A and B are shown apart, each in its own frame.
Chain A
């Protein structure tokens, strides 16, 4: 009985310490990454190559998703608003939800699935095929040559992608609301402009997307860099990237929203 009890407690302890170990490893890795950022920033062409693979290639999925999200918001928003006779406020509802929340959050989730998983798999495979070790042998620091550009590319791409998502969403809502349902064009835009604040709403949304870019980028390179050098290890690492990125984005969003928008009016 007591042996069983001791095993149970040890299992709990192992669970906690292994998580803490992982967290400490991530923190040390992040510190190492920050130190090497200065070298990485000196080689912009490497970063832009990663911006192409992560950011530019995500452009179509982000724009199309934004368009559809905006359209759905317009249909649902109109359904409720017209009950209260204020269908003209549709633009405000859609623009505020997109610019404050959905733009940064959904873009970060899409980015985690579309680009970060690929980054993890790429770095994980480099580790498995000992390319990273070979770089080390040639006195090339793999963190500043491979890891940092991918991390910086995520931070750089995210605000642009979020802005494109929100813009596509507003255009989608305009197509549904004004062109198909027939809300007045002038009221749609003027109410939107009167109620969306550039500093409070638009700028805070972009700050959110930069924070999400940092978190998603860090998680993807960390999981790839420390992936077990097997086929299964890379598969696990890719899955972990998507799961942990998504959860961290949603948690950070809650914290940022409370900090930014609570007690505003």
Chain B
């Protein structure tokens, strides 16, 4: 086998390998949608974020409009501080409501944004005024039990 045949085979091998890497980057992973850093960040505070995770989607009307960038706890108010990075081509009004929702019954949690009617738009670094925390199953059940107990007062003997 002479030199040029080796070169051809190795070249073909490298080309197939690079194609496979491109396939993994573009089709398996999503390099095109990989744009953390672009867009603008807004802050939302929640009493309870449930199982929200970093990189969870931010959706408005079901459309992904951003990602959760970081999650922290405010040391003074004991609220969860969630930084949302919104893609640059979306704008939301100042009185947008952020709520933590669940996709499906057991699915992952995401942040839902509902835009209001304020003509002023949110800018980078703004804080969302109105938020709705995640539904915690245990709290729901205990609320239900307490309200049931309140409805039917125990009969005195």
Contact = CB atoms under 8 A, between A and B. Distances in A.
A115 to B, nearest CB: 13
A174 to B, nearest CB: 10
Nearest to A98: B28
B14 A201 contact: no
Contacts of A95: 28
A79 B17 CA distance: 32
Interface string B24-37: 11011111011000
Given A52-B6, A193-B33, A265-B53, A198 B25 contact: yes
Q: Chain A interface: which size bin?
A: 20 to 34
B75 to A, nearest CB: 22
Interface in A43-96: 45, 48-49, 51-52, 55-56, 59, 84, 86, 95
Contacts of B12: 56
Contact of A202 (B6, B10, B17, B29): B29
A99 B24 contact: yes
Nearest to A84: B106
A192 B107 CA distance: 15
Q: Chain B interface: which size bin?
A: 20 to 34
B73 interface: no
A196 to B, nearest CB: 4
Contact of B23 (A48, A167, A197): A167
A56 B28 contact: no
A194 interface: yes
A55 B7 CA distance: 13
A189 interface: yes
Interface stretch (A18-26, A157-165, A224-232): A157-165
A45 B13 contact: no
B61 interface: no
Contacts of B20: 160, 163-164, 166-167
B6 A167 contact: no
Interface string A155-195: 00101110110110010000000000000000001001110
